[in-house]
Amino acid sequence: MSGSTITSQFQEMVRQEVGARRATGLKGAFREVARLYSLTERRVRAAWHGELRSVRAEEWESVRVRRLEMLRVRQEQLRQELASLEEEFATPKGDQA
């Protein structure tokens, strides 16, 4: 994989995570994502603005692994929420039209 591809993927992963946390404000989202990914706020802000020139392989791998972990947690939360809603809205057999 080329360096520009890694940089683009890295920036996109950071942008997605910042975007998911923008409700706290952009500055707060930068701070939170920096903490989650063990990056500096400046590095997160540069990724958000597409200003990174390069990304070290170990930095990219660390963010990729952490991003996958967080997506799996969100997936499980959504699965549980969906199961709860399906149970709540299930039509009892005697009430079917």
- Structural contact between residues 34 and 43, judged by C-beta atoms closer than 8 angstroms: yes
Q: What are the structure tokens assigned to 52, written together?
A: 């990174």
Task: With residue 75 as reference, give the H or E element that holds it.
Answer: helix 57-89
Mean pLDDT lowest for which of 2-6, 15-19, 55-59?
2-6
- Structural contact between residues 67 and 17, judged by C-beta atoms closer than 8 angstroms: yes
Q: pLDDT tens for residues 33-91?
A: 999 999 999 999 999 999 999 999 899 999 999 999 999 999 999 999 999 999 999 86
Q: What are the structure tokens assigned to 57, written together?
A: 């392989």
Whether residue 95 has pLDDT greater than 70? no
pTM over 0.95: no
